[in-house]
Chain A
Amino acid sequence: RKEVEQDPGPFNVPEGATVAFNCTYSNSASQSFFWYRQDCRKEPKLLMSVYSSGNEDGRFTAQLNRASQYISLLIRDSKLSDSATYLCVVNERRTDKLIFGTGTRLQVFP
């Protein structure tokens, strides 16, 4: 079983739609959680950190469920510019390693 698992997609949604991505992780000792965005042929960039209490940044909402070892990202009112691959990232407490999911590809169409 992979340490961090995501649905690879692609998710094809119209502008204005709401879309949700899920991610599960296997190591219960994981310490920190993030969502990264990666555009084609570019390096990943931080979208948002994920906290146990849930956090929101504009149209983006991230949630963490430690008991179920589950992370989610919700994007509301999708824009064409949201088209990218979204990576779930987990940081292990003991080793400080960053473990990436394979990414979920989102394509927003007009």
Chain B
Amino acid sequence: NAGVTQTPKFQVLKTGQSMTLQCAQDMNHNSMYWYRQDPGMGLRLIYYSASEGTTDKGEVPNGYNVSRLNKREFSLRLESAAPSQTSVYFCALTGNTEAFFGQGTRLTVV
């Protein structure tokens, strides 16, 4: 995971609570992504950012917001968590020939 730091690793939320998942890189790559992974569903793209200051919706953006204020950081926010958002979340960034992932955040919403 060299260069991609994702926090927290684990989180339990109550329905309606908010939280922000943080992702930071020191690899100077432009493109960053947030995915969620559920059993049998693979990795589904929530939001991505092609460069600093730009963000675009992916396949499953509802219930999430993102922020890319600088090149290093791309955060994912849940404003009002729902049980359906229980999942494993991965931040990723792409280089020329490879994608690099954070270690993941296991989020449980009860």
A99-B45 contact given A46-B98, A49-B97, CB 8 Å threshold: yes
Chain A residue contacts of B44, Cβ below 8 A: 100
Q: Is the CB of B42 within 8 A of A43?
A: no
Q: Is the CB of A98 within 8 A of B94?
A: yes
B74 at the interface (CB under 8 A from A): no
A22 at the interface (CB under 8 A from B): no
For B93, give the chain A residue with the smallest CB separation. Answer: A98
Which of A42, A43, A97, A100 has the most B CB atoms < 10 Å from its CB? A43
Residues of B40-70 whose CB lies within 8 A of A: 40-45, 48, 50, 56, 58
Contact mask for chain A residues 37-61; partner B; CB cutoff 8 A; 1 contact, 0 none: 0000111111001000000000000
- Partner-binding segment picked from B15-23, B75-83, B101-109: B101-109
CB distance from A9 to the nearest CB of B (A): 11
Chain A residue contacts of B35, Cβ below 8 A: 100
Q: Is the CB of A89 within 8 A of B50?
A: no
Binding site secondary structure of chain B: strand
How many of chain A's residues have a CB under 8 angstroms from any CB in B?
Answer: 23
Could you give 18 example pairs across A and B, Cβ below 8 Å?
Answer: A36-B99, A42-B103, A43-B1, A43-B101, A43-B102, A43-B103, A43-B104, A44-B99, A45-B101, A46-B98, A49-B97, A87-B42, A89-B99, A91-B94, A97-B45, A98-B33, A100-B45, A103-B42
Chain A residue contacts of B101, Cβ below 8 A: 43-45
**Residues of B in contact with A, size category:** 20 to 34
CB distance from A8 to the nearest CB of B (A): 7
A77 at the interface (CB under 8 A from B): no
Q: Is the CB of A8 within 8 A of B94?
A: no
Bound form: Cα–Cα A92–B99 in Å: 13
Bound form: Cα–Cα A41–B90 in Å: 11
Chain A residue contacts of B40, Cβ below 8 A: 8, 102
A25 at the interface (CB under 8 A from B): no
